[in-house]
Amino acid sequence: VNFMVDYLKTTGFKETTKLLFSQNNDFRLVILKLITLSDYYIFGEINFAHLRLIGFLFFLSTLFYFYKLGKFQSSKFYYFLPVPMLLISFAYAEINSLAMESLSHFVVIFFAVSCLYYLFETKKTVLPIILLFFCIYSNGNGLLMVPICILGLLITKDYKRLGIWSLFCALA
């Protein structure tokens, strides 16, 4: 809410960009701020129920990637059922009821899993870099993707993509 009050007072592009990338405690929650702005411009107000629903949609999208990564068969779908239960544990109880928590935690998990999927399963280069950017700027935990992906690329001996990845990580 404080962000929206400050945003409505901004006058120029530079000031707006500075506000978007400003720190919120220890994090730069750019994706959360962009989603909040989108909700404000679409509906004319900030609706926290909408923001919780958007966070839950990111959760469902994460489950889709886990399902694809697990290569579960449709006839054996019950093998997949523990995965959502692990993501909706008591440790994440506040996520389901608070809009900011939902949008910061589920979004970073979604971007991290999708980044890993496209980096290692599909062998793409540009899309995982974009997803890494979103991951870093959706929550502070997104920074952990940098060493994880570098280590993964070292293990798979994909030095060409490792060079491109390292260059982008230095710029981000």
The pLDDT tens digits of the residues spanning 89-131 come to: 666 666 667 777 777 788 888 999 999 899 888 888 889 999 9
Distance of alpha carbon 123 from the chain centroid: 20
Distance CA 30, CA 14 (A): 15
Give alpha helix (H) positions in 71-116.
Answer: 82-87, 99-116
pLDDT in tens, 50-102: 888 888 888 888 888 887 777 766 667 777 777 777 777 666 666 667 777 77
pLDDT of residue 67: 79
CA-based radius of gyration for the chain: 18
Chain Cα centroid distance, residue 137: 8
Question: Within a 10 A sphere around the Cβ of 33, how many other Cβ atoms?
Answer: 20
Contacts 24+ apart (CB under 8 A), 65-73: 65/110, 65/113, 65/114, 65/117, 66/113, 68/117, 68/121, 69/113, 69/117, 69/121
Q: What pLDDT digit, counting tens, does each position of 142-163 carry?
A: 888 889 989 999 998 988 888 9
Cβ(42)–Cβ(154) under 8 Å?
no
Q: What is the pLDDT of residue 45?
A: 86
Paired tokens of 156: 């798979």
Q: What is the pLDDT of residue 127?
A: 92
